[in-house]
Structure 1
Amino acid sequence: MEFAVSQTPSPLISAPQLAEHLGVAPVTVLRLVQREGLPAHRVGTGTARRTYRFDITEVDAWLRARDSDAQPMRDAVPHGPDEFVAATLAKFTPDDLRRAAEVLRALADAR
């Protein structure tokens, strides 16, 4: 049985290096690994020495597959409650928001 092997494997980089590449904080990279499934490789032994390393080609492919709009990473991950609300509302069309406002007004009038 033969396996296809890349001729030039990508070097693995650290979370701070990936954060710099993406233009985000290193903690955001770790959140993406834990919450969003960002591809990462665990290296080291023991819990104190274990760390993540990233293959830049895997990460770039994951980003392209995840977000075809090529939205910048700093905009993709909200950093606080206000940013979360803004990012959530940005997913809706103006018609959706108008309908939601009508429903909320009707509910408020019913009280």
Structure 2
Amino acid sequence: NADKAIISGTPKYTEKIFHEKLKKGDPYHGPFYPKTPEGVMKRIIRGMLPYKKPLGKKALKRVRVYREMPEEFKDRELKDFGAENKLRCKYITLSKLCERMGGK
């Protein structure tokens, strides 16, 4: 679930980084940054892949990011890793970050 993804670090600093990315470029010519949690998550994953090469393109096409749990997986048992409880530093969820950036 992209909504519940956690970004460690102080929320102010994380927001500052994402706002700087949004300010870059021209609104008509890009670069265009997503403002929804699933779009931001997919863009982060794209940054980890060689998406300009054939293998990276194939891998990126196989990546599926959902905002909420899809119907086909709702009946399966979930593993809770409890990442929120293990973090001892400040953090922000991806959904809160997108709301503060003006997204949905």
TM-score with structure 1 length normalisation? 0.26
Instruction: Determine which structure has greater relative contact order: mean sequence separation of CA pairs < 8 Å that are 6+ residues apart, divided by chain length.
Output: 2
The structure carrying a bigger strand percent of its residues is 1
The structure carrying a bigger helix percent of its residues is 1
